[in-house]
Structure 1
């Protein structure tokens, strides 16, 4: 596989259960995998730690299991049986990749259908359809089962990564421009919106805010909007969304650039607006003006850190030399002027830099000074800043002259009497009302931003 793999670095390591394999030799050797006995690990059955990542291992905890049982995504064991059946019929690496891309796509579409009210509810599936967590934990359940299959296969590490990546991408809504499953609309505007997985699960950025119950409104919004059409002042706007992992390594290997390039380069899928979205501060939206090329010391969902300059992978469109800063082209002032309903919206211009004439960080309320080094963009120094930086840098590299940039939503809140994850509930009326309000206002802000295209 080429050097632009962007699945997490622990993928495919370790050895699982034993199986008998048939290898057919020829002038172009083809591996046919057909284990004499197929066994896929089920959640909680003692999966070898070598066959799962830190992130996947959390699936066995009580809270994720309750989310899975109440989430309306379908029985996790049923999804694993479907995965097993799909791999039983795979005779080549390409077969396995196609099977996992198809399964991942079905998982993503099931989550979108659920979020948009198109699935049949069950008596034990009582979480609101706006909840993003059932997709997150179902994806990890299947990724772990697939990783165990890869460990028992005759595939080398690079080919294991290919199979894992095929599922990972498709289950996040990434890569659909390469198939007929997502034809471009014939009329109207086009926008691409990105969301994120839940984070700060068992090790918060500050080691305090960890909670396996966390949801991410950016992921909720991605599921609620994918495939929809918004009525704007500039006409109908067709929305495509995707969701990204909270993993430094995935970003370093180009997941953002590979996902967005088909929408930024000239062609039938090129968009008229893009917006990267993540969860931010309490009780406010922030349109981030400036993004910085610097990573802080925050922990990701693999409990890893990667402080230093934002790395740009080889083989993707970029700008040379790499700039320290990029800026939004969203109509930030207009969005900040919208009525606060119910949350205020700020055009956030502050950054932290190392000035050209100093070696110490300094906060700047009005943006960076000339020739300074980035230490925090408007969105900080975590992956929310980084996706804003990567997307706007790619915009410039592709010469995409459209509104685009990063929006921080308010942070979701649980009820005051439901703060302890050890004794609390996985949802409550305060969280659900708060999430609904955030999603409604985010949708309104996106509609407003798209409406400005009428004057272009």
Structure 2
């Protein structure tokens, strides 16, 4: 409601800011872990309450699409991350999820309703199947999906290929994980999955001030090889993944997991893939984490422009696949 302009907005931050939700969830989690109620609350029940807080506050339990006369679109975002580096950081994909949830975009084929979900930046949650639990039952009923995360400075990327590899970068628990992406039925797990988003239309359309690229680069260990090689035009036959177009962090992993889920559910005609947004930057005079302010006009403008362009990219994708 705050992000979409409904009701009061207390505090000093603009409505579109995703960080208050993240901060509130952390505070609520802390209170819940320390809570000593008058009734008995064992570890199992406390963990169930914490799970309810996590799923409800991320929109994972209220994905509701209308009937078939309206196109059905699902968009995912992420929490802020690398907060040890700069505690002020936000995530434009999380802000996009708040701004677009439950909204309509108009296309030549009629309206499309967007439902959104936010995911944590934690390796363990992904290994435990948080993505599949939230999305598996919805994918067969969608007309389009895109996972979204923060990528490079000054550009959008439509990631053509996703890799089955974790590169080990520390998550929001300062935990690291390196190796094959852990999924159900690993015996049938592919090294690579591919986007089915209309990447040519997305790169050619005028959707906003940031350029949009069709990113085909991957890093692989070629068949019979031992060392990683970066390929500008996608993987070669029989290679082992070391980074998808979206890298080897959780942005690549969510793209890999959802497109693998699409393929395992035998939905070859469902358009879906991953979209990397530009990095959300503060103004030039506000780059010091120790002395800078928590927001500034450039930061808010950049976030609003990114969110608006994601909306237009979704509209373009639905129109192209209509």
Q: TM-score, normalised by structure 2?
A: 0.95
How many equivalent pairs are there? 321
Matched residue, 2:97: 222
Matched residue, 2:244: 377
Tell me, what secondary structure is at the counterpart of 2:35? helix
- Out of 33, 36, 44, the residue aligned to residue 147 of structure 1 is 33
- Asked if the contact 2:201–2:320 (Cα under 8 Å) also holds between the matched residues in 1, the reply is no
Shift of 1:151: 9.8
Comparing 399-408 with 156-165, which one deviates more in the overlay? 156-165
Matched residue, 1:116: 4
- Out of 69, 78, 82, the residue aligned to residue 187 of structure 1 is 69
| Larger RCO (CA under 8 A, 6+ residues apart) | 2
Structure 2 unpaired stretches of 5+: none
- Asked if the contact 1:233–1:452 (Cα under 8 Å) also holds between the matched residues in 2, the reply is no
In structure 1, what is the Cα distance between the partners aligned to 2:320 and 2:207?
Answer: 19
Matched residue, 1:260: 135
Shift of 1:176: 2.2
In structure 2, what is the Cα distance between the partners aligned to 1:279 and 1:150?
Answer: 38
- Asked if the contact 1:235–1:451 (Cα under 8 Å) also holds between the matched residues in 2, the reply is no
Matched residue, 1:349: 216
- Out of 179, 190, 196, the residue aligned to residue 308 of structure 1 is 179
Shift of 1:341: 3.0
The question of 1:391 aligning with 2:253 is answered no
The question of 1:235 aligning with 2:110 is answered yes
**Alpha carbons of structure 1 residues 302 and 217: separation in structure 2 relative to 1, 3 Å:** same
Matched residue, 1:131: 17
- Asked if the contact 1:319–1:393 (Cα under 8 Å) also holds between the matched residues in 2, the reply is no
In structure 1, what is the Cα distance between the partners aligned to 2:199 and 2:229?
Answer: 24
- Out of 294, 301, 304, the residue aligned to residue 433 of structure 1 is 301
Shift of 1:163: 1.9
Q: TM-score, normalised by structure 1?
A: 0.68
In structure 2, what is the Cα distance between the partners aligned to 1:137 and 1:439?
Answer: 20
In structure 1, what is the Cα distance between the partners aligned to 2:211 and 2:235?
Answer: 24
In structure 1, what is the Cα distance between the partners aligned to 2:171 and 2:24?
Answer: 19
Tell me, what secondary structure is at the counterpart of 2:298? helix
Tell me, what secondary structure is at the counterpart of 2:27? helix
Structure 1 unpaired stretches of 5+: 1-112, 203-209
**Alpha carbons of structure 1 residues 287 and 183: separation in structure 2 relative to 1, 3 Å:** closer
1:114-144 deviation digits (Å, cap 9, x = unpaired): 000002134xx23111110010101111111
Larger Rg: 1
Taking the TM superposition and a 5 Å limit, the aligned residue runs for 1:46-85 are: none
Comparing 295-304 with 318-327, which one deviates more in the overlay? 318-327
Matched residue, 2:274: 406
Matched residue, 1:107: none
The question of 1:327 aligning with 2:197 is answered no
Question: Which 4+ stretches in 1 moved above 6 angstroms?
Answer: 150-153
Matched residue, 1:167: 53
Shift of 1:183: 5.9
Matched residue, 2:311: 443
Shift of 1:160: 3.0
Shift of 1:340: 6.6
- Asked if the contact 1:285–1:408 (Cα under 8 Å) also holds between the matched residues in 2, the reply is yes
1:306-357 deviation digits (Å, cap 9, x = unpaired): 11110014xxxx6851001000000011111123731110000000000012
Matched residue, 1:201: 83
- Asked if the contact 1:234–1:452 (Cα under 8 Å) also holds between the matched residues in 2, the reply is no
Matched residue, 1:339: 206
**Alpha carbons of structure 1 residues 263 and 150: separation in structure 2 relative to 1, 3 Å:** farther
Shift of 1:156: 4.6
